[in-house]
Amino acid sequence: MTDTLPSQDRAAPSGARRDPFFDNAKYLAIVLVAMGHAWDPLNDDSRVIDTLYTVLYVFHMPAFIIVSGYFSRSFDMRPDRLRRLVTGVAVPYVVFETAYALFQRYVAGYEGHEISLMSPWYLTWFLCALFVWRLTTPLWKTIRQPLAVSLVVAMLASVSPSIGYDLGMQRLLQFLPCFVLGLCLRPEHFTMVRRRAVRVLSVPVFAAALLVGWFVSPNMDVGWIYRNSAAQDMGAPWWIGPVMVLALFGCSVLLTACFFAWVPGRHTWFTALGAGTLYGYLLHGFLIKAGYIGDWYSHPALHRPLGEIALTVLAAVAVTLMCTAPVRRVLRCVTEPRMKWAFRRDAAELARERAEREPSGERREKVSA
């Protein structure tokens, strides 16, 4: 996960060229994530914001997770890939889970807030989930009908309140089908959704989603779209859980396809920012929480249409700046450290280095001998 959420360069075969479509998609998705978090305190005052928030949460994280799965297809238990999993996912999780805990304790004033790596707080659940998902990738690549099996797992999680909240397990399991779907996708699937016909059809689909969201959002428990609770925890009959898992998965895939249909496939001014989505994702949470601490959201202007628009633009600009190269250079030591001191050198890597150091003539003599 060198430079994206997820890492395109490290998951792709060596020498593969970056596809600007995926960088564009990741940048636009992280902007939507930041906008959704900025809207959270305004839901109770604005039916429009509440509707947009509900529709957005149906697909913005699934879009991230599907792309994460797509670029995890080549993951196996090879030592170099395990090292990258540790340095690119586990280390940032530990660093930012600790940083958010300290922020809550010493900035927000919650003295009882503990540092607990078992309980992901706020944004960090995704890194914890991604670590587990990628470790299980060889399993999903081995079994038949992996998507169907992952949906069964998600449905069982939705009726199992005893799972609890350790490691963000409910989200990890209920979002699992999105990751497995990404593992099953091929380049031609992304080409298919980028056709003009799909782009045209996506307009009425999004319009219908907004219409449905307008009617259901006032009475819908957000636990369903957060995927962080079992049905019983939300006071619903147990059988509603599996139904909602299937319904939300279908809606997520449909709206994600519509979102991808409008992502540019060419290089744009924001393509390079797609390489920094990990930074934008992890950093913008501090800004959102600072807004709560500073009581910014109580300002009357933010609860009017112009104020809501201004807040949306501000969130987009802030997360864009957090994805830029200077920010990445400063924080690379904790988001993608090399940590060569922590790992053994495997035999295959040492053999490759020896082969590169030897003159080509000497190698040919050894082979002929």
Q: Residue 249 in contact with residue 178, Cβ under 8 Å? A: yes
Distance CA 50, CA 220 (A): 10
Q: What percent of the chain has pLDDT over 90?
A: 70
What is the DSSP-derived secondary structure letter of residue 368? H
Above 50 in pLDDT, residue 164? yes
> 84-95: buried (b, 16+ CB within 10 Å) or exposed (e) per residue?
bbebbbbbbbeb
Taking the CA of residue 156 as centre, how many other CA atoms within 13 Å lie in the half-sphere pointing to its CB? 9
Q: Which of 73-82, 117-126, 141-150 has the highest mean pLDDT?
A: 141-150
Of 114-128, 176-190, 229-243, give the lowest mean pLDDT range: 114-128
Question: For the residues 85-104, what does the mean pLDDT come to?
Answer: 94
CA distance 360 to 244: 61
**Each residue of 287-324: pLDDT tens digit?**
999 998 988 888 888 888 999 999 999 999 999 999 99
274 token code pair: 């797609």
3-state SS class at 73: coil
Q: Is the dihedral of CA 42, 48, 50, 52 positive or negative?
A: negative
Structural tokens at position 17: 């060229």
Give dist(CA 126, CA 143) in Å, integer. Answer: 24
Q: Which tokens is 252 given?
A: 């997520």
How many other CB atoms are found less than 10 A from the CB of residue 47?
12
Q: Mind giving me the DSSP string for 138-167?
A: HHHHHSSSHHHHHHHHHHHHTT-GGG-SGG
Whole-number pLDDT of residue 1: 41
- Cβ contact 271:20 at 8 Å: yes
Lowest mean pLDDT among 5-19, 85-99, 133-147: 5-19
Q: Which two tokens stand for residue 299?
A: 């300002």
Mean pLDDT across the stretch 122-130? 93
The pTM of this model reads 0.89
- Give the pLDDT band of residue 4 (cuts 50, 70, 90): very low
What is the CB-side half-sphere exposure of residue 368 using CA atoms within 13 A?
6
| Matching residue, tokens 């139904």 | 243
H helix intervals, 277-359? 277-293, 305-322, 325-335, 347-357
Q: Tell me the C-alpha distance between 224 and 218, whole Å.
A: 13
